[in-house]
Amino acid sequence: GNRIGKARFDIDGTEYRLAANNGPNHLHGGLKGFDKVVWQAAASERPGERSVTFARTSPDGEEGYPGNLTTKVVYTLTDRNELVIEYEATTDKPTHVNLTHHSYFNLAGHDAGDILGHELQIEAHRYTPVDETLIPTGELAQVEGTPFDFREPTAIGARIGQAGDQQLAYGKGYDHNWVTNGTGLRRVARAYEPASGRTLEVATTEPGLQFYSGNFLDGTITGKGGAVYAHRTGFCLETQHFPDTPNQPAFPSTLLEPGETYRTRTVYTFGVQR
């Protein structure tokens, strides 16, 4: 998930080169990331929930990454209006792993236009500013006094075009990682769409949340019923480790060693605010 600067990283003195598929950088696993491959799938059901387990092994060297990475992702729909995503992976060589979920949401409906009227709250005091290629500078900046302060519910469109903000200019809006408060499984974000009353809460065990406001949607994708997905008609709340972590030693590590198991959990809960 997300970007790796200059499409490279080192592990124990060995350089690994990745596909530069986003300017000079590597994005979302490369030319054929995990979203573009066929997984084995198995459905299951328990009282109050239904699941699909996806599994595959990424072979050593795929997209430049070392190690045979055995991966399992379980999607569960519950009677509590939750979408639960559980990730697990093991490797036979040291490698970097940072899996995420990149669905676009529009709580007014997929064909309802832009998402700028949604009210968003993010439980974070800091975020990671980026350079002109959207790679973090390494700073953990305070959100206070900036357009990135969503500690209180704020319309996505309220400050997205604020003149003179270099970070918004780099991202053409919001395309940044927030350093979420707390540890363990905890709520990190909540979205509310006033016209429909629909809500979305996000809980995760991950340290970061990438909020992307659909700035690069350009009308080239046509969805259900012929709906055209234009500029900012969907937003993403991607739970993950920070972008470019393999090259940022001060960030929480994404390095997975043989004998370890990568596990993360994210819960999207849907509701209605009366």
Just list the catalytic residues.
102, 238
CA–CA gap between residue 80 and residue 19 (Å, rounded): 40
| Side chain identity at residue 148, one-letter code | F
- How many other C-beta atoms are found inside a 10 Å radius of the C-beta of residue 139? 12
The β-bridge relationship of strands 49-58 and 175-180 is unpaired
Cβ atoms of 57 and 75 within 8 Å: the answer is no
CA–CA gap between residue 270 and residue 98 (Å, rounded): 25
CA–CA gap between residue 53 and residue 75 (Å, rounded): 6
